[in-house]
């Protein structure tokens, strides 16, 4: 597990156990009948050929490969097949055949803004991803997005009933007051995703043609796998799928027929560890989730986040008595004392005039905080204040 393998994807797939894979991201050559090439920053030229004798020739390769994919997939597994307009309809016919019409789940549209060209007609700015599950009980993590700006959320919290004619209306009790319904989670994720196209200057770019943004792959992986699950990419190219899997702590196997691609993907995974380790220094593997919450909190108090200091999460934009004000947010796994100590340690020798800890958990009864001598000021997070209201 967690490797990039050089070889024909069918051969390599044959070596995998049946019912062992959670997600397959299938991104074959698009049947453009062209040779794709691109020069990387180090001037190395990467290319692959997407020329075929005929569409049938092309499709038969796809079909064989998909059949093998189906075999290695767990019964709860899914395939995401990425293609573009050129052959998407023929490929979907194959998908229907191999995986079954019933297991078609969604046509995902990936839209992006892009450079215009002089083509007569509309500017091409989407690609299609077909989502098929192996069976009925596929793994799916529901994600929710914000309500539209025009939605009256206040209203939709109400319960409803049916009138005699079968129309649905909002329910009121005997006093004419509205009846409130159950908690709302937000809007289920749509099948149209707007994710920026990989910018030609993006650092992420490694110079491989048709490289996909990591964001797109992360989205797909989060949707259909959990931590520790296995993701396979039979046409992995520059290894974006593997990078995304690694970031999300999924296992991965990438396959590509080109020695260059395998080399490149491996390099990318190496380097990622390097850039990643800075983040790891800061805290735990929960970095990604925790940081979003914390960044919101730092935002609300007007603080600038600091990434590489385990004792300090940020500094207030406004100094206090001429000195910066360090802020630390209590971590889920820390006692308040721990938090204070870390902040104190990090600010030793720095004569800050004000140091702030944001408390995020209630103290338990045998807290000895009152015995604790510190000049750190403690404020309770708004979330904690609300939790206390619930008591």
Partner DNA sequence: ACCGTCCCTGAATCATTGG
Partner DNA sequence: TCCAATGATTCAGGGACGG
Q: Which of residues 272-301 bind a copy of itself (CB under 8 A)?
A: 279, 284-285, 287-288, 292-293, 296-297, 299-301
* Helical (H) or strand (E) element with 34: strand 34-39
Q: Is 202 in the site for DNA (CB under 7 A)?
A: yes
The verdict on 310 binding a copy of itself (CB under 8 A) reads no
Nearest approach in angstroms of CB 336 to a copy of itself is 16
170 binds, among DNA, a copy of itself, none (CB under 5 to 8 A by kind): DNA
Q: Among 295, 346, 354, 378, indicate the residue that binds DNA (CB under 7 A).
A: 346
CB proximity list for 364: less than 8 A, separation 6 or greater = none
Out of DNA, a copy of itself, none, what residue 67 binds, judged by CB under 5 to 8 A for its kind, is none
Positions in 65-94 near a copy of itself (CB under 8 A): 85, 88-90, 92-93
Task: Name residues whose C-beta falls within 8 Å of residue 124's C-beta, 6 or more positions apart in sequence.
Answer: 85, 114
Contact in structure between 41 and 207 (CB atoms under 8 Å):
yes
Residue 319 contact among a copy of itself, DNA, none, beta carbon within 5 to 8 Å by kind: a copy of itself
List the interface residues with a copy of itself, window 20-39 (CB under 8 A).
39
Cβ nearer to a copy of itself, comparing 148 with 366: 148
Which two tokens mark 193?
């995703």
Residue with tokens 């070889």: 7
Angstrom CA distances, 366 to 123, 334, 363, 369, 390, stand at 66, 15, 8, 9, 21
Q: How far is the CB of 257 from a copy of itself (least distance, A)?
A: 25
Q: In angstroms, give the least distance from the CB of 266 to a copy of itself.
A: 26
Q: Please identify which residue in 75, 141, 169, 333 interacts with DNA, judged by CB under 7 A.
A: 169
Q: Which does 364 bind (CB under 5 to 8 A by kind): DNA, a copy of itself, none?
A: none
Residue bearing tokens 């702590």: 249
Closest CA relative to residue 137, chosen from 78, 210, 76, 65: 76
Binding to DNA (CB under 7 A): which residues in 173-192?
184-187
* Segment 328 to 357, residues that bind a copy of itself, using CB under 8 A: 346, 349-352, 354, 356
Q: Which has the closest alpha carbon to 79: 103, 110, 50?
A: 103
End-to-end CA distance of the chain: 47
Among 149, 164, 364, 365, binds a copy of itself (CB under 8 A): 149
Residue 12: partners with Cβ closer than 8 Å, 6 or more residues away: 5, 234, 255
Q: Does 32 bind DNA (CB under 7 A)?
A: yes
Q: Which does 204 bind (CB under 5 to 8 A by kind): a copy of itself, DNA, none?
A: DNA
Rounded distance between C-alpha atoms, residue 227 and residue 246, angstroms = 10
């Amino acid at each position: 597990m967690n490797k990039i393998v050089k070889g024909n994807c069918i051969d390599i797939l044959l070596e995998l156990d049946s019912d062992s894979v959670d997600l397959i991201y299938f991104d074959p050559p698009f049947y453009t009948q062209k040779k794709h090439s691109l020069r990387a920053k180090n001037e190395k030229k990467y290319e692959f050929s997407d020329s075929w004798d005929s569409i049938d020739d092309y499709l038969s390769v796809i079909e064989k490969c998909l059949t093998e994919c189906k075999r290695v997939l767990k019964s709860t597994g899914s395939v995401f097949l990425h293609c573009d307009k050129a052959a998407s309809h023929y490929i979907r016919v194959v998908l229907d055949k191999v995986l079954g019409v019933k297991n078609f789940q969604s046509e995902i549209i990936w839209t992006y803004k892009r450079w215009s060209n002089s083509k007569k007609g509309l500017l091409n700015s989407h690609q299609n991803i077909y989502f098929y599950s192996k069976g009925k009980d596929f793994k799916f993590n529901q994600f929710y997005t914000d309500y539209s700006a025009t939605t009256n959320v206040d209203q939709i919290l109400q319960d409803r009933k049916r009138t005699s004619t079968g129309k649905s209306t909002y329910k009121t009790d005997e006093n004419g007051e509205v009846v409130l319904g159950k908690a709302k989670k937000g809007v289920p994720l749509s099948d149209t995703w707007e994710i920026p196209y990989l910018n030609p200057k993006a650092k992420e770019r490694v110079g491989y043609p048709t490289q996909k943004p990591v964001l797109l792959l992360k989205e797909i992986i989060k949707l259909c796998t959990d931590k520790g699950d296995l993701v396979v990419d039979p046409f992995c190219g520059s290894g974006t799928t593997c990078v995304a899997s690694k970031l999300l702590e999924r296992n991965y196997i990438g396959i590509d027929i080109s020695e260059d691609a395998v080399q490149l993907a491996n390099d990318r995974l190496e380097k990622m560890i390097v850039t990643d380790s800075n983040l790891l220094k800061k805290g735990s593997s929960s970095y990604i989730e925790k940081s979003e919450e914390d960044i919101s909190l730092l935002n609300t108090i007007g603080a600038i986040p600091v990434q590489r200091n385990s004792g300090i999460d940020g500094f207030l934009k406004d100094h206090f008595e001429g000195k910066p004000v360090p802020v630390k947010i209590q971590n889920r796994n820390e006692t308040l004392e721990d938090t204070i100590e870390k902040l104190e340690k990090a600010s030793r020798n720095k004569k800050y005039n004000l140091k702030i800890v944001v408390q995020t958990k209630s103290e338990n009864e045998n807290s000895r905080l009152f015995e604790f001598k510190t000049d750190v000021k403690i404020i309770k997070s708004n979330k904690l204040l609300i939790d206390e209201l619930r008591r």
